[in-house]
A and B are shown apart, each in its own frame.
Chain A
């Protein structure tokens, strides 16, 4: 019970606060700007050359106001917004009318989830392993080489790095396809031909996410480990004549991984943003490309839906990592 009160409850409250703050921002932002979203949509339609008589414009304005939940006082709108959120209703997509936003997101979600989960896991494991070893054996040649490489890669933003890979491996040396999630005209199915096609298409986006992720994990893990190495218990283990590999893996790496689990939970939002951008560069059919299409077509409902869902999704994933953390850290379990 104490464990629940001390550890679990604050995490769950934090999850609710993140969702509350995020959704409130999503609610307030469009209402703070001087731009009237309803008028904007009408302008866009008339700008495309469609002629509308005033009566049609009026009825359109009315239905759009209702659609955006812009009826009633601010507080009423706010509660209505939460009500719709709980029902998972974000209204229809404006551009691909009348397909519901939720349905569009659900078709793109598996692509993003697959790319995101696999690349995050790979880069977390590889980056921490390499970073930990490089931190422990920091005077070795390979450690210094790796350090210099990741120091240069680390600060490059996702978009630029993806663009570089695209220029290199899709245009200059066309080894990989430059766009899409699978070849045009190929049937979606659970067979080797399709799977290998998907893997080939996702190779470049995955590589750019993995390389940047490894570099980031490498740098932080190396710093953490180089501090752990100076701790007394490591000195003691060395003085006691324990095998170097045992000290490195059993005492140093294991302890260094704990802050990295928390670090992963804290940086999920950033990683998610990076994945969106990478998808856009490679026209990978996930949420990122969906959002890009929504930006270009002014599909405001879809952007709202994606933003709300990603706030909830990332907060949820962070909560899951936080809840799993006691499994790895006995100090929290036995308090």
Chain B
């Protein structure tokens, strides 16, 4: 609670936290939606924002407000699946490479670097264009997690490398602690902050990829996500026809979401960084 108060003093964190809360509230509201998000023509078409359709309606006869509650929820679910599974992969790879060192480290890191360097978008396009209709939300999350771990595995590895050289590692090994419990008990407290600060960045990446693939028409475009909402709006030429509310709703939501997540992660990692923490304590003392 103390650290939350501390964080709320940061304007960036405050803004991000409020925006995320509003968006989370919207995604919860989707459970109370009066309309089925998969059905068309449930409301009059092409209405500009006016009560009771506060964000207007689409040419498919869907209410934009309720549609976007589903979109936010689904996009967040995809991002959470992708980022949580990729965290597991990153931790395992980073731990093994950092702890074992030597040949294992060299091999794992060269595979790791390949995933960092490789142009992922064309590969994801290839995968998605092969899967097409079979690409559900869960499979999309899984595929994204298989490609989104490399960068953070490297961060975790370098943390483990520095931990391994510390005094307490030798004390633990010499007093007969087994590797597994050493890693879980002694190393994890150091890794958890890294996991938290990278998870948000990974979510940003995953949502961005989902949006990209959906716009290209490569995901299941029946399911409302932020990406598929933009896909339909662009496909129906909403810009040319002057239905600005249709294209603007998902665009504004996505920008709010991306900026809020980014500010959240940068203020969090600044908060967790010992160097800036010293500065902050120094400032408080003055």
Residues of A within 8 A of B (CB): 13-14, 17-18, 20-22, 25-26, 29-30, 33-35, 37, 151-152, 154-160, 163-164, 167, 171, 227, 265-266, 268-270, 272-273, 276-277, 280, 291-292, 294-296, 298, 300, 303-304, 306-307, 310-311, 314-315, 318
Contacts and interface: CB of A to CB of B under 8 A. Distances in A.
B261 A155 contact: yes
B126 interface: yes
A277 B210 CA distance: 13
Interface of B: 12, 110-111, 113-123, 125-127, 129-132, 134, 204, 208, 211-212, 215-218, 230, 234, 239-240, 247, 251, 254-255, 258-259, 261-263, 266, 275
Contacts, number: 138
Contacts of B121: 269, 272-273, 276-277
A311 B130 contact: no
Closest 10 CB pairs of A and B: A273-B121, A155-B262, A157-B208, A269-B119, A307-B122, A155-B258, A21-B114, A18-B114, A307-B126, A314-B119
Most central of B110, B120, B130, B234 by chain A CB within 10 Å: B130
Contacts of B215: 159
B117 A315 contact: yes
Contact of A276 (B122, B131, B234, B261): B122
Contacts of B240: 171
Main secondary structure of the interface of A (DSSP, over half): helix
A273 B120 contact: yes
Contact of A311 (B119, B131, B230): B119
Contact of B211 (A160, A167, A276, A315): A160
Contacts of B115: 21
A273 B134 contact: no
A236 B121 CA distance: 46
> Is chain B's binding surface mostly helix, strand, loop or mixed?
helix
B24 to A, nearest CB: 18
Contacts of B263: 151
Contacts of A37: 130
A292 B122 CA distance: 11
A291 B119 contact: no
B261 A273 contact: no
Contacts of A33: 130-131, 134
Given A17-B114, A29-B126, A310-B122, A296 B212 contact: no
Contact of A303 (B110, B118, B120, B125): B125
Contact of B110 (A13, A277, A314): A13
Contact of A151 (B118, B130, B262): B262
A269 B131 contact: no
A64 to B, nearest CB: 15
A35 B122 contact: no
30 contacts: A18-B117, A21-B111, A22-B118, A26-B123, A26-B126, A29-B123, A29-B126, A29-B127, A30-B130, A33-B131, A34-B134, A35-B130, A151-B266, A155-B259, A155-B261, A156-B258, A159-B212, A164-B251, A167-B247, A268-B117, A269-B121, A272-B121, A273-B119, A273-B120, A276-B122, A291-B122, A298-B129, A303-B126, A304-B126, A310-B122
